[in-house]
Amino acid sequence: MADHQRKIALITGGSGGIGAAISRSLACDGFDIWLNYRSNHEAAARVAEAVESVGRRCRLMSFDVTDPQSIAEHLTALLEEQTPYVLVNNAGFSKDALMVWMTQAEWKDVLSVSLDGFFLVTKPILNAMLRKREGRIVNIVSTSGQSGVPGQVNYSAAKAGLIGATKALALEVAKRNVLVNAVSPGFIRTEMTARLPEERILPTIPMGRFGTPEEVASVVSFLCSERAAYITGQIIGVNGGIYM
């Protein structure tokens, strides 16, 4: 396939857990991958190897999604030549604490990755998508942003903000054939949930188990396909029934 015909998907926070599963899934769907990660070079290399094993290309991009200069250094020149068809805003992390003990840094850091990262990465890619009049943006949010979780005021606020941004942006760009949706995982078996008290959580999940990164990735894959050509502004839960 000629380079100009190869569709590209950029995944932020793509080196582990859900991001890695999304990268592998979209590669199997035929996308070349631009894989963003911050510092885990070994994990990113493993994902790149998996992408390339199915015959797709993987460009590794090590930058902090909250750093405008680093984003520009990695994306500006590339976007003059190529436009990703898919952007998955997956970068995010948690620093849990009850609000009475939460520091301002813990508040700002969590919001910055989810919200500043969304804005700083999405804006230049969105401009390119609008010029081409096509694109898919998928934001990875969380049940925490829909229902609220004690001890996660910062994380719940960040993900709730991203849900609002998803809906507003979908309204802005639908006429240019750029579709914007969010996938909202519940408890997914990743490094982030490894330290949680599973014995207390499982009884609260109607399906009685944690989900897998691949189950989240399958919904992202659908939203990036032609089968989802009439879906925008939606928040799709992958949560085993814990939030309805």
- Choose the catalytic residue: 37, 155, 230, 243: 155
Whether residue 44 is contained in a domain is answered as yes
Reduced to 3 states (helix: H, G, I; strand: E, B; else coil), residue 188 is: strand
pLDDT for position 4 = 55
243: annotated active-site residue: no
Most distant pair of Cα atoms in the chain: their distance: 56
pLDDT for position 3 = 59
Whether residue 17 is contained in a domain is answered as yes
pLDDT for position 6 = 84
Q: Which residue's entry shows tokens 């620093």? A: 95
Distances 213 to 122, 145, 222 between C-alpha atoms, Å: 23, 19, 15
What are the tokens at 149? 């979780």
One-letter amino acid at 76 equals T
Whether residue 133 is contained in a domain is answered as yes
- Is residue 200 within a helix (H) or strand (E), and if so which, with residue range? helix 198-201
Q: Tell me the CATH number at 124.
A: 3.40.50.720
pLDDT for position 13 = 97
Per-residue pLDDT of the chain (244 residues; tens, 9 = 90+): 455 568 999 999 999 899 999 999 999 999 999 999 999 999 999 999 999 999 999 999 999 999 999 999 999 999 999 999 999 999 999 999 999 999 999 999 999 999 999 999 999 999 999 999 999 999 999 999 999 999 999 999 999 999 999 999 999 999 999 999 999 999 999 887 888 889 999 999 999 999 999 999 999 999 999 999 999 999 999 999 999 9
CA proximity to 211, closest of 238, 236, 179: 238
Could you count the other beta carbons within 10 Å of the beta carbon of residue 232? 21
pLDDT for position 191 = 82
Where in the sequence is the domain holding 203, given as residue range(s)?
A: 3-238
Whether residue 243 is contained in a domain is answered as no
Reduced to 3 states (helix: H, G, I; strand: E, B; else coil), residue 80 is: helix
Whether residue 158 is contained in a domain is answered as yes
This prediction's pTM: 0.96
Question: With the CA atoms of 178, 148, 17 and 199 taken in that order, what torsion angle do they form, in degrees rounded to the nearest 10?
Answer: -150
DSSP-assigned beta bridge partners for residue 135: 178
Indicate the number of domains in the chain.
Answer: 1
Contact call for residues 160 and 201 (beta carbons, < 8 A) = no
d(CA 187, CA 168): 26
pLDDT for position 193 = 83
Whether residue 152 is contained in a domain is answered as yes
Whether residue 35 is contained in a domain is answered as yes
Whether residue 244 is contained in a domain is answered as no
